[in-house]
């Protein structure tokens, strides 16, 4: 067999393999949907943007509305199943508390969030207040004038942070791509103290969106050739940064 024919045959086998994998993925999704909904003959009008499997019966706010003081800005909502929506409120509250404690004083609206919503939460939840006090540390840091001053360092609840950012990415992905993240996609998030240089170099390639009065700014990129690849960068109240990315599980 000539080298040209060998290449053609290899390409044919590769294409056949990709098509078989795609059909297998579709069958798996149908099986999951039938199992979760329990009604194989019913056509689902909307699928939950968060889990990507169950039927959507509510709307969920992304980012969560808990982190915005009233009057709230125009917000993004996505279809969600009751389990994904209702099961997230406690984590949303925790995220609000830690974010507002970090952001208060940065802007008038950040201080408003802390005074109007977080103080009330901590008055009701004494155990959370005790936990925050026990895990906080006073540090000496230099201000813009080079003078040392005391700052309170607050240890975030990592579960609340990561799960809220993950859910926000899933919801925003649905909002921009008009479909949930594929089931064979891995989602990772990370806390950022500041914007790393390697990320700054690609910021111009990302699409930017702003929610409210600079309360949340986020940038994202979804690869058109394979939407399982995406990058997300968040700026909350100019005080906290987080990033996330998605990749195929088999990559």
Report the chain's mean pLDDT, rounded to a whole number: 84
Is residue 119's pLDDT more than 80?
yes
> Which residue carries 């005790």 as its tokens?
130
How many separate domains does the chain show? Answer: 1
pLDDT at 40: 46
Structural domain includes residue 11? no
Residue 4's pLDDT band (cuts 50, 70, 90): very low
Please determine, for residue 141, whether its predicted confidence score (pLDDT) is greater than 80.
no
The pLDDT-based confidence of 138 (bands split at 50, 70, 90) is confident
Given a contact cutoff of 8 angstroms between Cβ atoms, the answer to whether 222 and 177 are in contact is yes
Please write the tens of the pLDDT for every residue from 9-60.
666 565 555 555 545 554 555 565 555 545 444 444 699 999 999 999 999 9
The reply to whether 131 falls in a domain is yes
pLDDT of residue 42: 44
- 240-243, long-range: CB < 8 A, 24+ apart: 240/99, 240/102, 240/103, 241/191, 241/192, 241/193, 241/194, 241/195, 242/161, 242/165, 242/189, 242/190, 242/191, 242/192, 243/189, 243/190, 243/192, 243/199
Asked if residue 144 has pLDDT above 80, the reply is no
Q: pLDDT band at 87, cuts 50/70/90? A: confident
Does residue 38 fall inside a structural domain? no
Residue 41 forms part of a structural domain: no
Q: Is residue 89 part of a domain?
A: yes
Note whether 69 and 117 are within 8 A (CB): yes
Q: What is the pLDDT of residues 55-74, one digit of tens each?
A: 999 999 999 999 999 999 99
The domain in which residue 106 lies consists of 58-248
178 domain residue, yes or no: yes
What's the pLDDT score for residue 142? 65
Indicate the pLDDT class of residue 94, thresholds 50, 70 and 90: very high
pTM equals 0.77
- Taking the C-alpha atoms of residue 130 and residue 86, their distance in angstroms, rounded to an integer, is 26
CA 36 to each of CA 24, 31, 49, 51: distance values in angstroms, whole numbers, following the listed order:
19, 9, 15, 11
Residue pair 63/163 in contact (Cβ under 8 Å)? The answer is: no
Choice among 45-59, 92-106, 114-128, 148-162 with the minimum mean pLDDT:
148-162
CA distances in angstroms from 17 to 11, 22, 157, listed in the order given:
10, 9, 44
| Cβ contacts of 170 within 8 Å, gap of 6 or more | 49, 50, 52, 62, 180, 181, 187
In a domain, 222, yes or no: yes
Whether 78 maps to a domain, the answer reads: yes
């Amino acid at each position: 067999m000539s080298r040209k024919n060998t290449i053609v045959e290899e390409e044919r086998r590769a294409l056949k393999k990709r098509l078989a994998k795609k059909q297998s993925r579709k069958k798996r999704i149908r099986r999951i949907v039938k199992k979760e909904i329990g009604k194989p003959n019913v056509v689902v009008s909307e699928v939950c943007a968060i889990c990507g499997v169950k039927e959507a019966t509510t709307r969920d706010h992304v980012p969560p509305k808990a982190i915005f003081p009233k009057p709230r800005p125009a917000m993004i909502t996505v279809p969600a199943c009751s389990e994904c929506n209702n099961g997230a409120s406690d984590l949303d509250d925790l995220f609000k508390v830690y974010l507002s404690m970090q952001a208060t004083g940065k802007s008038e609206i950040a201080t408003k969030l802390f005074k109007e919503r977080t103080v009330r939460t901590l008055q009701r939840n004494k155990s959370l207040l005790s936990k925050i006090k026990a895990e906080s540390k006073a540090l000496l840091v230099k201000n813009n004038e080079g003078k040392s001053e005391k700052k309170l360092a607050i240890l975030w609840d990592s579960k609340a942070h990561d799960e809220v950012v993950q859910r926000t990415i899933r919801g925003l992905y649905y909002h921009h791509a008009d479909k949930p993240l594929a089931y064979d996609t891995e989602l990772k998030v990370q806390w950022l103290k500041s914007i790393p240089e390697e990320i700054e170099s690609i910021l111009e390639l990302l699409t930017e969106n702003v929610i409210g009065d600079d309360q949340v700014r986020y940038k994202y990129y979804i690869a058109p050739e394979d939407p399982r690849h995406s990058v997300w960068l968040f700026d909350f109240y100019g005080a906290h940064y987080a990033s996330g990315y998605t990749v195929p599980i088999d990559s």
